[in-house]
Structure 1
């Protein structure tokens, strides 16, 4: 939801954004797989629309 909100901002209001992704090792494997899938989708979309976002694991 956070990414969608930022990505929908007008270009003149977009600023470099950062997201930290961490695995606390308490998530079920299917949740971890889901998060990795979402991260890959965000990275792919972010590059194609040239959105200023950096993800750190």
Structure 2
């Protein structure tokens, strides 16, 4: 069974916060979205902290 089929069977979708320099941030976010993950981005540490206070992330990429 491939990872896409496994992800479709789960009701929970992993959420990742990507905090990197542009354009790397957008590239990483696009690849993760292509793999079926939910992605949010932040352009600064301050924005990342604000988002992390208001939502739960499974992974934060710095």
Scaled by the length of structure 1, what TM-score is found? 0.36
More helix by share: 1
